């Protein structure tokens, strides 16, 4: 029992697999330990559904497979949770929204299927902001998830449930989605690692869409090695997703590279008035440490910084208004039946089924796409996005990485910004850059005695260089 407790608290997948092969533990025992931890943390509202019997049955099957000497998958021993935006055949998926109440997926998304094919055990689906829209995990129809380190605070969002699931040891790895920081920001608030790969590295088939040109499946874990192994498994070309990249799977990284890199940082970011002074000092300290270790850390000017958040929210809300038009009460999910005609069904279903934040973003998106405003907002935002991409391409000709804070502050108290959408949107200033350009980025946890809560240092790498990004992240840890 003591070894099992250690395994779920500190163990990496390599340690778990070694213990399984040596017969010191069984996968069924490991799953039961995770289920016990889920039960003990129910007050945090991490999961919207736990696949208890299914997970135990799968564990018994895999135990028998191992004892029989059959070849085992790369993720044998990995107990994984999935965010409630990922489709899993014959399982309910709702994107944290009343409008999809009771909807059961008819297929399994590519990323989830690749996990299963490599012998991972899917233990449940985690809570999230409705349709991945939010930074606090307070917009879910299931109620808010609480931060496991301090239940008076939020875990971040939209993948807040996924981050708390890992931090509270209810699973080894959690799969989330990142549209503008929705994996990295909650990872920062909860003191774990959160990675968003290059856009297209992981197939989006089976991921409920928010902003299709921004969305990317991401990975949350307590260590780099497990992120690397899961990324290796789920990345790669998929004929079901035309935007997926025809590249070989990512290399598995389990050690730091003894190389020296050129790392850029942006002084305007560190001078930002909203940045917590302790986080600022920590970033500066890390820059000095990297320089002492032989890396070349250089300040660069990024004059487009004030346009990141406006461009991001114009474009994502426009895409959201289009993507969410399919939820009409006719084809699937929630439907309001006491209506006299089809138009009233649409109106009542969407009014009743969508939450406040989703309605706000649909209205914003509809506005910027409307006649008379399309060129003034949407077209201009697309031009800004192109300028941002040009600037990033220029930076990566001279540098290997960009170093940034992940968030402006530690986790907010519950209710602190939920009614201040502008403040919530502006808090994404450091994370949306990677999504606007489609670049890979990772949040690396930092602990601070001064703040008594964790925060994240963010590394953003060049496209398709996830293995190098993970290797450098090991040296920063």
Residues annotated as part of the active site: 83, 158, 182
- Which residue bears the tokens 């040009």? 390
Asked if 107 contacts 89 with a C-beta cutoff of 8 angstroms, the reply is: yes
158 prior amide bond cis, ω within 30:
yes
For residue 229, the tally of other CB atoms under 10 A from its CB is: 24
Q: Where are the alpha helices (DSSP H) in 193-276?
A: 224-234, 267-270
Which pairing describes strands 216-221 and 262-265: parallel, antiparallel, or unpaired?
Answer: unpaired
Which pairing describes strands 401-405 and 193-196: parallel, antiparallel, or unpaired?
Answer: unpaired
Q: Which residues pair with 298 in a beta bridge?
A: 264
Choose among 222, 176, 212: nearest CA to 197: 176
Asked if 434 contacts 440 with a C-beta cutoff of 8 angstroms, the reply is: yes
Query: What does each C-alpha distance from 194 to 163, 412, 446 come to in angstroms?
Result: 8, 19, 13
HSE of 368 in the Cβ direction (CA atoms, 13 Å)? 24
What dihedral do alpha carbons 169, 171, 177, 180 form, nearest 10°? 10
Here the tokens at position 155 are 């875990």
**Concatenated DSSP letters for 391-419?**
HHHHHHHH-SEEEEES-SSSPPBTTSSTT
Please measure the distance between the N-terminal and C-terminal CA atoms of the chain and give it in whole angstroms: 30
Distance CA 247, CA 225 (A): 21
């Amino acid at each position: 029992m003591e070894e099992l407790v250690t395994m779920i608290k500190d163990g990496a997948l390599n340690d778990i697999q070694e213990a399984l092969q040596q017969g010191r533990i069984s996968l069924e025992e490991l799953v039961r330990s995770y289920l016990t931890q889920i039960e003990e943390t129910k007050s945090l509202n991490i999961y919207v559904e736990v696949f208890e019997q299914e997970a135990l049955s799968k564990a018994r099957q895999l135990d028998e497979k191992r004892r029989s000497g059959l070849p085992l998958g790369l993720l044998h021993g990995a107990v994984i949770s999935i965010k409630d935006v990922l489709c899993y055949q014959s399982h309910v998926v709702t994107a944290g929204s009343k409008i999809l109440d009771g909807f059961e997926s008819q297929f399994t998304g590519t990323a989830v299927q690749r996990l299963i094919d490599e012998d991972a055990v899917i233990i449940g689906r985690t809570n999230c902001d409705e349709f991945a829209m939010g930074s606090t995990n307070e917009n879910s129809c299931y109620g808010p998830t609480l931060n496991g380190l301090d239940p008076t605070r939020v875990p971040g969002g939209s993948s807040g449930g996924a981050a708390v699931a890992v931090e509270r040891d209810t699973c080894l790895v959690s799969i989330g989605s990142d549209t503008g920081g929705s994996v990295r920001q909650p990872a920062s608030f909860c003191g774990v690692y959160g990675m968003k790969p290059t856009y297209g590295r992981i197939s989006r088939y089976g991921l409920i869409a928010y902003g299709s040109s921004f969305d990317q499946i991401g990975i949350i874990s307590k260590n780099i090695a497990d992120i690397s192994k899961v990324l290796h498994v789920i990345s790669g070309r998929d004929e079901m997703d035309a935007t997926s990249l025809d590249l070989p799977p990512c290399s598995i990284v389990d050690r730091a590279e003894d190389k020296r890199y050129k790392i850029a940082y942006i002084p305007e970011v560190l001078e930002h008035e909203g940045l917590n002074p302790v986080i600022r000092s920590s970033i500066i300290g890390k820059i000095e440490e990297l320089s002492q270790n032989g890396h070349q850390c250089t300040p660069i000017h990024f004059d487009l910084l004030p346009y990141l958040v406006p461009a991001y929210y114009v474009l994502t809300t426009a895409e959201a208004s289009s993507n969410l038009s399919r939820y009409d009460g006719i084809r699937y999910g929630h439907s309001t039946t006491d209506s006299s005609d089809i138009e009233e069904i649409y109106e009542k279903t969407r009014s009743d089924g969508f939450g406040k934040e989703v309605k706000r973003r649909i209205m914003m998106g509809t506005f910027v796409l409307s006649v008379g405003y399309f060129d003034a907002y949407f077209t201009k935002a697309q031009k800004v996005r192109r300028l941002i991409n040009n600037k990033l391409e220029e930076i990566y000709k001279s540098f290997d990485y960009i170093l940034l804070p992940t968030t402006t502050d530690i986790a907010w108290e519950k209710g602190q910004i939920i009614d201040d959408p502008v403040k919530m949107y502006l808090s994404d200033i450091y994370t949306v850059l990677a999504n606007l350009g489609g670049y890979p980025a990772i949040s690396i946890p930092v602990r601070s005695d001064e703040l008594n809560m964790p925060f994240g240092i963010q590394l953003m790498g060049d496209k398709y260089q996830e293995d190098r990004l993970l290797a450098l992240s090991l040296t920063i840890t």
